[in-house]
Amino acid sequence: MNKAELVDEVSSEVGLTKKDVNNVVDAITSAITNSLAQKERVTLVGFGTFQVQRRKERQGVNPQTKAKIKIPAKNVPKFKPGKNLREAVE
C-alpha cells in the first residue's frame, strides 16, 4: 500500500475528503519526523513505538575492491510494533 492508497482507504472509511485525509497523513508523518529529529520517542498505543537508536561504528568491505572500510556511527530510526499490530500480523 502506498500513500495514495492509504489516503483513499481512510477517506472512504471516515467520510472525509481525500484532500483533508492527505493533509492529516502529512501532518502525522511530519510530527513523527520532527519528534525523531529531536531524539524523542513516539508511542502509538496498540500500534507501536518509533525511536532513535545509535548505531555503532563498524568495519565493512567495499564489494568492488574488497578493501576494508570504516562505516561511521550514526543515528537510525527504529520501529517496535505494539501488541495489537503483532497479533494482527500473526
Looking at residue 89, what is its pLDDT?
A: 93
**88 and 49 part of one domain:** yes
Looking at residue 10, what is its pLDDT?
A: 95
Query: Is residue 72 a contact partner of residue 57, using CB atoms and an 8 Å limit?
Result: yes
CA torsion angle 7 8 10 11 (round to 10):
100
**50 and 77 part of one domain:** yes
**33 and 44 part of one domain:** no
What is the residue range of 34's domain? Answer: 1-38
Measure CA of the first residue to CA of the last residue in the chain; give whole Å. 19
pLDDT in tens, the chain (90 residues): 999 999 999 999 999 999 999 999 999 999 999 999 999 999 999 999 999 999 999 999 999 999 999 999 999 999 999 999 999 999
Looking at residue 25, what is its pLDDT?
A: 96
Give the CATH number for residue 56: 4.10.520.10
Query: Is residue 74 a contact partner of residue 39, using CB atoms and an 8 Å limit?
Result: no
**1 and 34 part of one domain:** yes
Total domains present in the chain = 2
pTM of the predicted structure, to 2 decimals: 0.81
**49 and 24 part of one domain:** no
Instruction: Characterize the bridge pairing of strands 48-55 and 42-44.
Output: antiparallel
C-alpha 72/C-alpha 82 separation (Å) is: 31
**25 and 68 part of one domain:** no
**51 and 85 part of one domain:** yes
